[in-house]
Structure formats: structure tokens, C-alpha cells
Structure 1
Amino acid sequence: MSHWNDGVPRIGASLKKEPRAPETKSAETRSASAHEVREAMDEFLSSFEDFKSANDERLGELERKLTADVLTEEKVDRINRALDTQKKKMDELTLAAARPEIGGTRAGETYAGREHKRAFDRYVRKGEAHELRGLEAKALSVGSDPDGGYLVPVETEKLIDRIISEVSPIRAIAGIRQIGSASYKKPFAAGGMQTGWVGETEARPQTATPSLAEIEFPAMELYAMPAATPTLLDDAAVNIDQWLAEEVQTAFAEQEGAAFVIGDGVKKPRGFLDYDMVAENAWEWGKLGFIATGNAGGFPTSNPADKLIDLVYAVKAGYRANGRFVMNRSTQSSIRKFKDTDGNYLWQPAVAAGQPPTLLNYAVTEAEDMPSMEAGAPAVAFGDFRRGYLIVDRLGVRVLRDPYSAKPYVLFYTTKRVGGGVQNFEAIKLLKFQA
């Protein structure tokens, strides 16, 4: 008997052929996925060429007649929407092709890790908690709490974090710290360190005591409660790790994504748009600087791209090197029509599947929780988010099995602790659509 990639035991294959069968099937699966990604990428690039032709036609009509034909406008908008749909499909195929399979013994996996994994599997499938309780007590785990659930295996926790990072746009670009306590505290010099130049033999003047302040990022509890049927749990072919990670990914990613952008910090992370905003010429630490478009709810009618350039150069060079734009789909759809003075489109599609599009040669991250272009809205952000925004993850994802509340289904109350906030107010700038 041998176990193929789909996890179903096969009987009757010869001993010589058994080891080769999984390799052949795995290679074919990967090849099919790669072929689908290439096809999606070709379709996307072809649509972008159609979009440029239609938009050029629209711009030509505006120059000749000061107005564009309604049919031409509708054609541009239709292709624009199709581009967004195809980009989403391409990203999903790329992530699916890149996601590794789980199962079996991994290199470097310890005996204790395998024991925990087997005990956790029994707990999820059968509700047998005595072995898992004993292992966590033996390890003196601070997260061991039968009333609050049991810690998932490290491998499963990493899988959950990886899948969420692929789905949550801000988590994919922000700085991340793992902590073992309830919060993360970071000191900083409010007025900057005292420095100066002196000669080799000159007396060193005494420097003033630096003014230090502290920012704190508490980890808040985030939960999801997927349900399973007894039949699914009894099916040995179902990979419990993969099932749990995929069930909680959408709930965790959607809640996180909104909190990292607009969260108010009350029982959730604080989003970067929740901080005070001031005009860039009046910027001070603790607030985010913004550039105004000069037009409430939109870009200026002449040279609209100049405001994007102003936004980029509002960020210091040290942060600009790793800068990226963050905006929602509708804002990106409008900016996609902009050209430079040589007639080149400022927005360019990704050169390879799985890569982000670019704007002014900087990567673009699409975050649907960003506001749209409305009066006074900070609809576009730019900066080095890895240095500007910090996400803190408390180690340990816990699962509590509940077979009673929704019979015949079994509920799995899954919790993780996460926090976040701006850690460097110089690294992120905003484009505000106001006069």
C-alpha cells in the first residue's frame, strides 16, 4: 500500500512503480498550474493593450471635440473592470501554484513536534484531549488552558500565518514582530539625539538628556469559528492542518485588513488612517503628513499626475527607496488612465505573474479598505510600510473544539492575538482629495 498525493491509499500497484507514481502526478499538477498562470498573464497583458488603445481613442476625441463619445467611455470602463477581474484571477492562480503541500514528516521536525501534531489531530477529529493536555503541561506552555483551547502545532500556525499574509494586503508589506507577552513597547527619541562636531583635542560639551517617549502596541484577540461535519473529521484523507488554515484565512484576513487601515485601536489594531493628519508643511512627529490634490473628490483637471509626484517626493529618500502606493481598486482604475508628457502610461502591469503592478516605477498594493476618491478622503498612501507600520503577533494560535452548540456540526473556536500601529511617522505620506 502506498499513499499518493491526494492522500487516498492505492492497492494493487507493483512495488517498482509505486515510488514513481506520486512524482509523475505531482509534476503534472504543477505543470498544469504553471500553464494556467501563463495563460492568465497573457490574457491580462492583452487586455491592457486593448485598454490603452481604447483610452487613446477617448483622449483623441477629447482633444478634437472637447468631449468623448459615450460608447468609447463605456468601452474604456468595461475593459478597465475586466483588467481588475483578470488581475485578481491571476493572483489567485499564482498563489495556488506556489502553495506547498503539507503532510508527512518534514526535515528538521522534532519528535516532540510530531507528537504534538498527532495529539492535536486526535483532539480535532475525536475530541480526545488527554494526550494533548499532557504534552502542553509537560512543556510548561503558558498557553495551555483547556477552557480556552489548545495551541495548534507550530507547523499549522506557520501555515495559517503564511496564508493570511498572502491574502491580507497590509500584512504582506508591513513590518512584523512576534511577541510572547500581551503588548510590544518601543522607545523613541522625541526630539532626536544630541550630536555635533568637535576637534580631536577639544573638550566634549555635555549633551542634554534625550527626551524619550514610548509607543505601545497591545495584541488584541481575533477569532474565527469554522464548522465541520463529523463525516469530514472521520475522513483520513482530509488534511486537518490545511482545512483549518483555509477555513480561518478569510475571516482573519478580512478583519485584519480593515483594522490595519481604519482600525480605531479599541479591541483591535490601530490603522494608519486613524492617526491625526496634517498638511505636509506643518508635519510633526505623531501625525501623518498629507498632500492636497487641490480638488475636492478628485485630481486637478490639468496635469493630475503631478500630485502623485508631489506625494512621492514628500517622503524622504531613505524611505522612498522601498516605497509603494496603497489604494483601493476604484482609485487605481482612475489613475490607470494617466499619461506622462511623452504619452507613456504611468501605471504599468506586472512584468511577471505574482508581482504587483507599478505606478511611477513604484509597486502598487491594492487594499479595498482604503477610502475612495471622495471630498476630504486620504485615498492614496505612499511610503515604506515595512518601516512605517508595525504588526505584532503574539505567538500561539489556539483552538477550542465545541461539538455541542450546533449539533450535528462541530465548531472550532480559533483565536490569535494581533496588534498594530504606526511606528515611524516619517515613512508614510497621504494624498488627500481636498481643495
Structure 2
Amino acid sequence: MSEYNEIMETKTLEAIESFDDFARTFHEYKQVNDYRLGKLEKGSSIDVLTNEKLQRLDDALDMQKRAMEQLELKQVRPALDGGVSPLRSLEHKNAFESYVRRGDESGVRSLEAKAHSIGSASDGGYLVPPELESEIGARLAQISPIRNISTVRQVSGSILKKPFSIKGPSVGWVSETEIRPQTESSKLAELQFPTMELYAMPAATSSLLDDGVVDVEQWISTEVETAFAEQEGKAFINGDGTNKPRGFLTYETVAESAWSWGKLGSLSTGVAGAFAAADASDILLDTIYALRAGYRQNANWVMNRKTQAAIRKLKDKDGNYLWTPPSTPGAQASLLGFGLVEAEDMPDIADKAAAIAFGDFSRGYLVVDRTGVRVLRDPYSAKPYVLFYTTKRVGGGVQDFNAIKLLKFGV
């Protein structure tokens, strides 16, 4: 059975199951409604439980009907929001595989011409199939620590412009007849997040490409994911914003007491390159409560493994360890009740180093992905190997300066 037929059979089974659920609900609905009508014909009152049950069944029917309509739409038209129909997806997959294995550009060139794409082998390669792009994105989120806790937005252009409300209108209480003072207008800041090109260039032998058992899409995603994730991880923390995303540690920092928009607030341990000798945990608690309550609910600690090793030794005044190991496989360790994310690109503990960050990164840091991953096949530059110049465009930066606090090891 072809892959397309398998996809369609799966969707057909989903539609059948959805319809069966709808039919069963409707059958029960009729029974309850028939009972209600029978009571009305006899002049009897309808009990509350019957009306409630009928209402629940009515709501269920509406929900199941909407679900069936969605399945039907997916079967008769290409998916929206960047998706593609199963037939087009399979066509793209086969064309891309021919390009990668044999250098046959006719299929992908035809597809991108239909899609009015400006991509070509001479100016950046061909778009990978949507499944491969999604797989690369999913794996990056798993192994890139900052991406995993930040907000990720996809754009079709080269830059994302985002307005942010720094200060809302003034409000207050007044009596019924008191004159309402004029309120101040909101203050907005326009934040810009340009996307920069990130590339990897895995090499393959001809024998690998000739081997029909090898899944070339899987091979490409496996080869580039680690390289992409490592470069992203560095940039999201320490990137200077030139040809790469801007890392949150490169923004201007000020003492928390002097914080203002556009800067990150910081606290200090009071000791050069170390925690205080006595009550070392106090500064960690101060860092937690430097963050506003609304941001603390989803906050995480970010530090590298050496800093985490130092933290692991600390106890509170009652003799309890501050660091708590993961409770289940795959779970996070925690520090004072908040998740701990290990990011190797955070600085080590040193004099004046901001070795620890704490905040709600989903609100504080924005990762911008430009839609599309491109692959350019190069069989000439490194013969007998075939190079695959794989590119994606990524940007990033702080979007809410309230949401991230830094802890510096210094006076």
C-alpha cells in the first residue's frame, strides 16, 4: 500500500469513528427526547435530571459535528496554517528524495514553481518537505534549552516587529458624580526581531545515497539538529545580534533597585566569584522575589552544570538541601521549588559573572523562526562526497524586560 493510501485510510477511519460516535450520541439523544415528549403529552412535568441530560447530549452532538466537519475539510482541501494535503506532501517527499539521492531537480523545481517560490539551486537550495521541517524544529526544542522554555514564533518574512505595552492607561476610583480625570495614553515600544541565517553542511557518500533502505530525510535531520541546536544555544544566551540572534546576557544590566525598561535587573551575591559564606540561600530567595508574582508561576532557573554543582551543595537554615533531584525519568531537577534548566553556554561562577538567570522565559525571550528549511546539494566541492548545505533563518531577543532577572557573583 502506498504512503498516500495509508494516510487516506487513516483519515477515513477517523471519519468513520467520529461518525459512529455521533450516531450513538444521537440515538441516545432521541431516546431521552422521546421520553421528555412522552411526559409532556401526558401533562406531566419534566424532571431536572432529564433536562440536564438532554442538554449535555445536545452539547456533545454539536462538538462531534464540528469534529466531523474538520475531518471532512482536511480530506477535500490542502491543510491551512502552513500545512499541505497528503497528496502534495507525498509528492514533495518523493521529489525531494530524488533531488537528494540523484541530484534530480525537476520535481522540486516544478513544485516550487507551482508554489511561486523564489527558491532555486543557485540562490539557496530547495525547501525540505514540511514533515522534515517539523521534525527538525521539534528536535531543536528538545535539545536547545533556551528554545525549549521560550516563546517560538514563525514568520514568513525576514523580520518580526512586535509592539509591547510598557505602561497602560492610568486608572482609579471615583464616586458616581465626581468628574473623571483624563487618563494617560498607553506607552508602546516596538521591538524588532530580525532572522539570521544558520547553516550546517553534512556530507554523504554515494553509497549511502544509493542505499534505498536509508531514510535520507531522517539522515539529514539527524545530522543537522545537533549543529543547529548548539549554535542556537550559544546565540540565545551570548549572541551579539550581528548575523545571529541577540542573547539575553548581552542586554544592559542594572541593579534591581534601578531597573527600567530596556534593561535587565540584577542582584549580587556580595562576594567576588562566590556565594556569601553565611546564609548563602538568602540571595537565591531574593532573586525569586525580585520577579513579580505573575512571572514567578512559570519561572525557571538557568545555569550551567558547574554552577548547578555548587548549588547542589547548599542547604537552607533548617538543614534541607536547596536542590531537589528529578522525581521521574525525564523530569527536571528543581531549586527552591522552581525548575532548573541546564544550559552549558551560561558563564561559570566568577567575579561579576551573571552565572544564574531566573525568570519566565516564555514571556521574557522570543525565538523567531522563518518558515522553511532549505537544502542545496553540492556534489563538486568535496568529491567523492556529496555536501548538503542546509539553512534555516532564526532570530531572537528579549521581549519583556520584566520577566528575567540575573544573579551576579560580585560586590
Normalising by structure 1, report the TM-score: 0.73
Matched, 1:174 2:134: no
One-letter amino acid matched to 1:394:
R
> CA distance change for structure 1 residues 264 and 2 in 2, over 3 Å: closer, same or farther?
closer
Matched, 1:356 2:339: no
**Partner Cα separation in structure 1 for residue 185 and residue 367 of structure 2:** 30
Query: Please, which of 347, 361, 368 is the counterpart of residue 392 of structure 1?
Result: 368
Matched, 1:288 2:264: yes
> CA distance change for structure 1 residues 300 and 398 in 2, over 3 Å: closer, same or farther?
same
**Partner Cα separation in structure 2 for residue 108 and residue 286 of structure 1:** 40
One-letter amino acid matched to 1:139:
A
**Partner of residue 341, structure 2:** 365
**Partner of residue 97, structure 2:** 121
> CA distance change for structure 1 residues 393 and 125 in 2, over 3 Å: closer, same or farther?
same
Q: Is the 8 A contact 2:121 2:376 kept in 1?
A: no
**Partner Cα separation in structure 2 for residue 210 and residue 334 of structure 1:** 44
**Partner Cα separation in structure 2 for residue 259 and residue 404 of structure 1:** 31
One-letter amino acid matched to 2:255:
A
Cα drift, residue 149 of structure 1: 0.2
**Partner Cα separation in structure 2 for residue 233 and residue 200 of structure 1:** 79
Cα drift, residue 358 of structure 1: 0.6
Per the alignment, in what secondary structure is the counterpart of residue 371 of structure 2?
strand
**Partner Cα separation in structure 2 for residue 167 and residue 420 of structure 1:** 17
The aligned runs of 1:18-417 (5 Å cut-off) are: 110-143=86-119, 146-200=122-176, 202-417=178-393
Cα drift, residue 108 of structure 1: 8.8
Q: Percent of aligned pairs with the same residue?
A: 60
**Partner of residue 37, structure 2:** none
CA RMSD of aligned residues (A): 1.9
Cα drift, residue 251 of structure 1: 1.1
**Partner of residue 433, structure 1:** 409
**Partner Cα separation in structure 2 for residue 146 and residue 204 of structure 1:** 64
**Partner of residue 20, structure 1:** none
Cα drift, residue 286 of structure 1: 0.5
Cα drift, residue 356 of structure 1: 1.0
**Partner Cα separation in structure 2 for residue 407 and residue 230 of structure 1:** 10
Mark the runs of 5 or more structure 1 residues left unpaired by the alignment: 4-106
Cα drift, residue 209 of structure 1: 3.4
**Partner Cα separation in structure 2 for residue 2 and residue 214 of structure 1:** 50
**Partner Cα separation in structure 2 for residue 108 and residue 407 of structure 1:** 36
One-letter amino acid matched to 1:418:
V
> CA distance change for structure 1 residues 200 and 142 in 2, over 3 Å: closer, same or farther?
farther
Cα drift, residue 179 of structure 1: 0.5
Cα drift, residue 164 of structure 1: 1.3
Q: Is the 8 A contact 1:144 1:151 kept in 2?
A: no
**Partner of residue 88, structure 1:** none
Q: Is the 8 A contact 2:157 2:370 kept in 1?
A: yes
Cα drift, residue 142 of structure 1: 4.6
**Partner Cα separation in structure 1 for residue 150 and residue 84 of structure 2:** 29
Q: Is the 8 A contact 2:264 2:402 kept in 1?
A: yes
**Partner Cα separation in structure 1 for residue 293 and residue 188 of structure 2:** 25
Cα drift, residue 139 of structure 1: 1.6
**Partner Cα separation in structure 2 for residue 132 and residue 201 of structure 1:** 71
**Partner Cα separation in structure 2 for residue 303 and residue 295 of structure 1:** 12
Per the alignment, in what secondary structure is the counterpart of residue 310 of structure 2?
helix
**Partner Cα separation in structure 1 for residue 2 and residue 198 of structure 2:** 40
One-letter amino acid matched to 2:157:
S
Per-residue deviation, residues 319-359 of structure 1 (Å, max 9, x unmatched): 00111100001000011011122222111110111111011
**Partner Cα separation in structure 2 for residue 384 and residue 142 of structure 1:** 38
One-letter amino acid matched to 1:376:
K
One-letter amino acid matched to 2:302:
V
Cα drift, residue 258 of structure 1: 0.4
Q: Is the 8 A contact 2:279 2:317 kept in 1?
A: no
Report the count of equivalent residues. 332
**Partner Cα separation in structure 1 for residue 327 and residue 84 of structure 2:** 36
One-letter amino acid matched to 1:420:
G
One-letter amino acid matched to 1:286:
G
**Partner Cα separation in structure 2 for residue 174 and residue 315 of structure 1:** 17
> CA distance change for structure 1 residues 202 and 352 in 2, over 3 Å: closer, same or farther?
same
Mark the runs of 5 or more structure 2 residues left unpaired by the alignment: 4-82
Normalising by structure 2, report the TM-score: 0.78
Per the alignment, in what secondary structure is the counterpart of residue 123 of structure 1?
helix
> CA distance change for structure 1 residues 208 and 227 in 2, over 3 Å: closer, same or farther?
same
Per the alignment, in what secondary structure is the counterpart of residue 353 of structure 2?
coil
Q: Is the 8 A contact 1:264 1:271 kept in 2?
A: yes
**Partner Cα separation in structure 1 for residue 363 and residue 131 of structure 2:** 28
**Partner Cα separation in structure 1 for residue 121 and residue 369 of structure 2:** 19
**Partner Cα separation in structure 2 for residue 143 and residue 193 of structure 1:** 46
One-letter amino acid matched to 1:134:
S
One-letter amino acid matched to 1:245:
S
Report which of the two structures shows the higher radius of gyration computed on alpha carbons.
2
Per the alignment, in what secondary structure is the counterpart of residue 326 of structure 1?
strand
Cα drift, residue 211 of structure 1: 3.0
Cα drift, residue 202 of structure 1: 5.0
